[in-house]
Chain A
Amino acid sequence: MNLDDLADLAEKYREAEAGVDREVRVCLAASCQSSGAVPVFDALVAELGDAKPSCKVKGVGCMGLCSAGPLVAVADREADLQGSVLYRDVTADDAREIIASVDGPPVERLRCPTDQPFFARQQKIVLENAGIIDPDSFKGYVAVGGYAALIRALSEMTPADVLREVTDSGLRGRGGGGYPTGLKWSTVAKMPATQKYVICNADEGDPGAFMDRAILESDPHRVIEGMAIAAYAIGANKAYVYVRAEYPLAVERLQTAIRKAKRSGLLGNKIGDTQFNLEVEIRLGAGAFVCGEETALMASIEGLRGQPRPRPPYPAESGLWGHPTLINNVETFANIAPIVREGGEWFASIGTERSKGTKVFALAGTITNTGLIEVPMGTSLRDIIEVIGGGIPGGKAFKAVQTGGPSGGCIPAQHLDIAVDYDSLKTLGTMMGSGGMIVMDETSSMVDVARYFMEFCMTESCGKCIPCRTGTQQMHSILDRLAKSQATRAELALLEELCEVVQATSLCGLGQTAPNPVLSTMRYFRDEYEAKLGDT
């Protein structure tokens, strides 16, 4: 298959849909499903029946505004989310009115304006197809230009060309560390080995983070395409997606996508009539947070106990079964196809000096618009929370936002104007992490927040190294006593010292970053800790 063949195929799939002018798109991602999207979908299908052949009810992926789910969009076939009429909090009883509105006036009662900042201020690259295409449909993905980047890379570019585009794009790892993706790829590419592996890390475990889940549920082919391009660039013929078993819907859609891609010759042997072969396999995580750490993840794939090992050697040198291995996050792979399609330079024109492109954030906590957003790097935190997120509900005052999950920290109100990128967050004592943002209002106790995250780290510690295994447990008991106003000043000093020791001496990222929530809340809200002391 070459580019022309693929273009013909896309044309064919589009023509097959030519009779459909209007689409009723029902979000069938996990969040909307949990608020009852499946009965809505069934009711809409039943209501439509054969009445309007030019209209089609379609299950799609995440539209972003999860707090308003189930979401239904009525749109022209080519229209995007903003060009559609969006309905919120839809129930099965609304089906009749919605179907009637397909060629009539919109149902104002259910309407959710799409010109509000939540939609208007986003810039979608990773989520460009989310909420528009049917994630289970291979044809749907090809019809919007899917797999063209892979075929183009295979037929017109050398692996070195791909590496150059990715390096030029300035893309950095979206899993949290922010390691330059181009550098990681070229390191693995340079290894003189015959067997190499590509791994997609979909073991998203931060509390309040659901970016990777939404991407896999909304546009799984895009991740597969990114992985295939990566495998071609580094010379791998085997890839694994390590996805947590708590994401059954993502797993199911990914399985469907892999099966269909394979059947169409876009995975397997001689992809696109070239000498490039790639097998993609899914491995399920059994629920350990530490398995998101790359060495623990690889141990888990190998069938061993999921615990980290010292680095170096890094996976790029000695990874899965000792072979050079490339590990990237879901969102990183989801950025690859657009980079190959539009060029690295285009990608590098978006974002800030040292953080390029866009970032998907999951807004959670006490914020009006809970859900998924994608904004360019460098968007100010104030824009994200107050404008896009719609601010704090109930007239309460903003207190802090937690980024980076249990490895990150809190950002207080006085720093709301910073431009969010990898480096600015680091200077504030937190980190980008995978993109979860938990917003807290004035009623939240920061000692409780620190205690919550420490409890998380304590129960998720694998138990291999002593600082993390016992240090987190000791820190948690001090925080627990603090929260109950029982701790002494000496214990507070001990807490600070334990933070330093655990941070400096732990084996892997889990332990090294476990003290961050404590350190950052202490940095900005020390008075709350002082006020909780029992002996003053």
Chain B
Amino acid sequence: MPLPAKQPNVRVVTLNIDGRDLSAREDETIIEVCRENQIPIPSLCYLEGLSVWGACRLCLVELAGQGRLLAACSTRVAEGMQIQTNTERLQRYRRTIVELLFAERNHVCSVCVSNGHCELQHMAQKCGVDHVRVPYRQASYPVDSSHEMFRLDHDRCILCTRCVRVCDEIEGAHTWDVMGRGSDCRVITDMAQPWGESDTCTSCGKCVQVCPTGALVKQGTSVGEMVKDQHFLPILARRRHPQ
């Protein structure tokens, strides 16, 4: 006689995203279900394989019956959810957020090593940002070239903290962190020492590969040359944290 079926711990739910009926495990987030079903959701801080951060606010979606917008990366699916991912209102908010990002630091694509391979640039193109209405902050930030292989340019950082998380969660070095408050925030290595003097950095380069912009790049790359490869991340993440 077969053993009685063991009841699974996780249920499966059905929900509706942009008019499509979809099924999902209830421990999945909205963004995971969307990515699985080729529904485009813009995001900059979210990256498969890293913990959820919920800071770029580009993946906000509308849920029927709820006035407040929900971040697709940090919201779990539930039975019967009716979700809209690309309304006129969301498009308008996303455009403004991208504009705020461009104006915050000194993003000038034409002189950037990541030109053409930059997630912020792609995002601007996808969201239809053809100009920035808010004034650039014109704050002056240093460039850290002290590491023999890599370079950190704060002017191109969007504070997504992918570098902080990959270094902590995948490499296990926790070289990166964030210091300061508000618009004074910046990423630092160790106790805000030059990167080249860091005791903890293993020079693995994962932070460079996950960085969405030209903030973290390989030394010696010139305009448009910096292509990043993030395929390693989900594979490593699965090995580090088996499901």
Contact = CB atoms under 8 A, between A and B. Distances in A.
Contacts of B57: 465-467, 505-507
B84 interface: no
A310 B59 CA distance: 13
B97 A467 contact: yes
Interface residues of A, number: 30
The DSSP consensus for interface residues of chain A is helix
B134 A474 contact: yes
Interface string A497-523: 110010011110000000000000000
Contacts of A507: 54-55, 57, 71
Nearest to B179: A305
A461 B180 CA distance: 10
B71 A310 contact: yes
Contacts of A467: 57, 97, 100
A366 interface: no
A477 interface: yes
A469 B69 CA distance: 18
A466 B93 contact: no
B183 A310 contact: no
Nearest to A464: B55
A303 to B, nearest CB: 13
B128 to A, nearest CB: 15
A312 B103 CA distance: 31
A494 B133 CA distance: 8
Contacts of B134: 474, 494, 498
Contacts of A501: 92-93, 96-97
A470 interface: yes
The DSSP consensus for interface residues of chain B is loop
A458 B101 contact: no
Interface string B73-88: 1111000000000000
B36 interface: no
Contacts of A477: 135
Interface in B65-124: 68-69, 71, 73-76, 92-93, 96-97, 100-101, 103-104
A470 B103 contact: yes
B158 interface: yes
Contacts of B74: 310
Interface of A: 288, 305, 309-310, 312, 458-467, 469-474, 477, 494, 497-498, 501, 504-507
Complex A-B, nearest 7 residue pairs according to Cβ-Cβ distance, in ascending order: A463-B185, A310-B74, A310-B54, A461-B182, A470-B100, A505-B57, A501-B96
Given A459-B181, A501-B93, 5 more contacts: A305-B178, A460-B181, A462-B182, A498-B96, A504-B93
Interface of B: 52, 54-57, 60, 68-69, 71, 73-76, 92-93, 96-97, 100-101, 103-104, 133-135, 137, 158-159, 177-178, 180-185
8 contacts: A463-B181, A463-B182, A465-B55, A466-B158, A466-B159, A472-B182, A498-B134, A507-B55
